[in-house]
């Protein structure tokens, strides 16, 4: 991790949010021995990778859910147990472990080198009809991965996805061999050092998508404008925020010029720096009345103006929870999980705890916003916004691994995303 980041800062930051996590967007496949392919429905994901002969699998409740597809080193032709530095773990040797904080939970994992493939031959009719626009063939690379051997019940028991694909910048990775997109770029398999994220909530059967080596022009409807990544050495896809407006009124929070926002597909809410979140809630929250869907409320428009002039516009449909809350009902936790002993990080110090302010009690029958208070120290905080699903469900985002310009052109909208927001960084 880059200096001068302190271990305590990293612990707090990593427990609060995860850097651009794309979950359930694409399938991750593994190479299996031919004679074992009929058994690939078995729990194959979490076998202990300390030594080749080990047969202990993940016994955590979250690993044993019936819908969970598991990874098995034993069934893989291409898996090699390694340490965090890439050195091979030989038979009868103990490999390293790492404990990583994810929201209110933790994952303990071991390391392996594996051939990982992205994409699938399975396509729906709409994809087949537009095959000339995007190449859907599987893409395979050899890279380092973390294999979970323990997972906390909360929140992982309720998750439907089987893995987490980290797409943060190299500053957050244990080494470049763990950086998914960096490996893809340096393997020469990416047509361009960019990827695009099309994120839907699936309410109407839409499918989310991540495009490697470029972006899908069918997904955007306006000219592309670029924003420079801020403090890229920290590893997050951050953008600088010039101002925040609610119903056209400029709020005080960003007047000093220190606001930034992190784009994060692993966050379901819009993170607002504390204590300013209270003012946001007061201005945006309203009586639900007879509404059954609060996203249809006649509530104010929220605008986030980036340094380059791009304005992210959010409407009630984007930032409201779907259902109104009654008196006495609260959603989510206001307390972070603190690591037990030195279990926070055995390698590279990447787990920790978050600090949350006390939550406001929602009004009776109120249309409740999908906002979450954020309290982080420097250098990420204190005025850090987390641009999660409320932003990413509305905007198609493009991420450039290097600093370069992209041709601008009007494109047609497709699916659930209404606009485009590209950002770029040097790497």
Residue-number span of the structural domain to which 208 is assigned: 7-215
| Same-domain pairing of 175 and 93 | yes
- Is the residue at 348 inside a domain? no
**The Cα angle at residue 52 between residues 37 and 84, in degrees rounded to 5:** 110
| Same-domain pairing of 177 and 263 | no
* Domain finish residue from 158, 192, 215: 215
* Domain finish residue from 167, 191, 215: 215
| Same-domain pairing of 242 and 166 | no
| Same-domain pairing of 243 and 388 | yes
Tell me how many domains the chain contains.
2
- Is the residue at 221 inside a domain? no
| Same-domain pairing of 145 and 286 | no
Strand 249-250 to 21-22 pairing: unpaired
What is the per-residue pLDDT for 297? 76
Judged by DSSP in three states, 354 sits in: coil
| Same-domain pairing of 57 and 196 | yes
Dihedral of alpha carbons 62, 63, 65, 68, sign: positive
Whether 246 and 302 have beta carbons less than 8 Å apart is answered as yes
What is the per-residue pLDDT for 277? 94
The DSSP secondary structure of 288-308, one letter per residue, reads -TT-S-GGGS----EEEEETT
| Same-domain pairing of 202 and 250 | no
| Same-domain pairing of 189 and 299 | no
- Is the residue at 66 inside a domain? yes
- Is the residue at 1 inside a domain? no
| Same-domain pairing of 189 and 255 | no
Query: What's the CATH number where 142 sits?
Result: 2.40.70.10
| Same-domain pairing of 292 and 419 | yes
216 burial via Cβ count (<10 Å: 0-12, 13-18, 19+)? buried
| Same-domain pairing of 119 and 240 | no
- Is the residue at 89 inside a domain? yes
* Domain finish residue from 157, 187, 215: 215
pTM of the model as a whole: 0.73
Tokens 């019936």, residue?
A: 66
Strand 270-273 to 371-374 pairing: parallel
* pLDDT tens, N- to C-terminus, the chain (427 residues): 333 344 444 344 444 444 444 333 333 333 322 223 222 222 222 222 222 223 347 888 988 888 888 888 888 889 999 999 999 999 888 889 988 887 778 889 899 999 988 876 555 444 444 445 566 677 899 999 999 889 999 988 988 888 888 888 888 888 889 998 899 999 988 888 988 888 887 777 778 888 888 888 888 777 777 888 899 888 899 999 999 999 999 999 999 999 999 998 888 899 999 999 999 999 988 776 676 677 777 789 999 999 888 899 999 888 887 765 554 544 444 333 223 333 333 332 222 333 333 333 334 455 678 899 999 999 999 999 999 999 988 888 889 988 632 223 222 334 454 555 555 554 4
- Is the residue at 349 inside a domain? no
What is the per-residue pLDDT for 38? 28
Judged by DSSP in three states, 414 sits in: coil
Whether 199 and 219 have beta carbons less than 8 Å apart is answered as no
The alpha carbon of residue 409 and the mean position of all alpha carbons in its chain are separated, in whole angstroms, by 28
- Is the residue at 69 inside a domain? yes
Alpha helices of 81-179 — where are they, by DSSP H? 125-129, 153-156
What is the per-residue pLDDT for 113? 95
| Same-domain pairing of 12 and 41 | yes
Region class of 220: left (phi > 0), else alpha (psi between -120 and 50), else beta: beta
- Is the residue at 143 inside a domain? yes
């Amino acid at each position: 991790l880059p200096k001068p980041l302190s271990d305590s800062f990293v612990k707090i930051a990593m427990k609060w949010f995860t850097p651009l996590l794309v979950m359930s967007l694409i399938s991750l496949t593994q190479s299996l021995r031919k004679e074992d392919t009929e058994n690939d429905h078995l729990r194959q994901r979490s076998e202990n990778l300390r030594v080749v002969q080990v047969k202990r699998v993940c016994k955590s409740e979250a690993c044993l859910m019936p819908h969970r597809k598991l990874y098995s080193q034993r069934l893989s032709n291409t898996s090699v147990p390694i340490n965090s530095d890439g050195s091979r773990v030989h038979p009868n040797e103990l490999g390293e472990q790492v404990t990583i904080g994810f929201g209110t939970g933790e994952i303990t994992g071991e390391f392996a080198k594996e051939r990982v493939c992205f994409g699938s031959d399975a396509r729906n009719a709409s994809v087949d009809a537009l095959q000339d626009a995007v190449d859907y063939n599987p893409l395979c690379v050899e890279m380092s991965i973390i294999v979970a051997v323990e997972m906390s019940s909360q929140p992982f028991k309720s998750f439907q996805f089987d893995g987490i694909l980290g797409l943060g910048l190299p500053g957050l990775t244990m080494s470049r061999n763990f950086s998914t997109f960096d490996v893809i770029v340096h393997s020469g398999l990416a047509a361009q050092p960019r990827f695009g994220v099309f994120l839907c909530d699936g309410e109407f059967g839409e499918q989310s998508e991540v495009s490697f080596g470029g972006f899908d022009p069918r997904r955007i409807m306006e000219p592309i404008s670029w924003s420079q990544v801020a403090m890229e050495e920290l590893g997050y896809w951050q953008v600088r925020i010039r101002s925040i407006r609610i119903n056209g009124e400029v709020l005080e929070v960003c007047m000093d010029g220190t606001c930034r926002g992190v784009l994060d597909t692993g966050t379901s809410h819009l993170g607002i720096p504390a204590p300013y979140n209270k003012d946001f809630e007061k201005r945006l929250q309203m009586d639900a009345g007879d509404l059954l869907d609060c996203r249809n409320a006649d509530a104010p428009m929220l605008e986030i103006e980036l340094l380059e002039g791009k304005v992210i516009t959010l409407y009630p449909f984007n930032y409201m929870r779907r259902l109104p809350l009654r008196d006495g009902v609260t959603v989510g936790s206001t307390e972070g999980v603190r690591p037990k002993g030195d279990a926070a990080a055995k390698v590279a110090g990447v787990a920790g705890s978050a600090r949350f302010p006390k939550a406001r009690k929602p009004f009776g029958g109120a249309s409740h916003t999908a906002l979450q208070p954020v309290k982080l120290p420097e250098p990420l905080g204190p005025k850090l916004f987390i641009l999660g699903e409320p932003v990413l469900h509305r905007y198609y985002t493009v991420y450039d691994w290097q600093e370069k310009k992209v041709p601008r052109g009007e494109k047609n909208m497709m699916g659930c995303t209404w606009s485009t927001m590209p950002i770029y960084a040097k790497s």
